[in-house]
Amino acid sequence: MTSGLDHTVRLSRPVDFIAIVPYMLGFHPQRSIVAMAFEPGADPDSTTRGLRFSVRFDLPGNSADTPELARHLAELLTRNGTERAMLIGYGPGWHVTPVIDAVRGTL
């Protein structure tokens, strides 16, 4: 028996995506990077995308580990055919920004 409930959540603003992450993960991330990978759209001009998967990693404690995390996350996204992704960092800017920049550069 199907409940008939629609579990669709429509998000449009960055703050919407930030707000949904703790519900997706089941906890409020701290000192983390979260990547949300979206399904390719049937219409290339459409901004509507379904969530394919999400993943969370701890931010590296040592900045020397940042390139390895960036390579690992970029490889995970590309191996799964991700065309569009959103990266959200949790923690102080000085800790988050280099990781986001490294992932973006690797992609």
In a domain, 6, yes or no: no
For the cut 60, the answer to whether the pLDDT of residue 1 exceeds it is no
- Strands across the sheet with 51-58, in order? 51-58, 32-38, 84-90
Neighbours of 85 (CB within 10 A): 22
Q: How far apart are CA 90 and CA 29, in angstroms?
A: 7
The reply to whether 7 falls in a domain is no
Number of domains in the chain: 1
pTM: 0.81
Q: What is the pLDDT of residues 7-19, one digit of tens each?
A: 777 777 889 889 9
Which of 54, 63, 61, 60 is closest to 88 using CA atoms? 54
Quick one: average pLDDT of 79-106? 92
Higher-pLDDT residue of 80 and 71 is: 71
102 lies in some domain? yes
Structural domain of 64: 14-41+48-106
For residue 27, the tally of other CB atoms under 10 A from its CB is 11
Is residue 2, in this structure, part of any structural domain at all?
no
Is 57 within the bounds of a domain?
Answer: yes
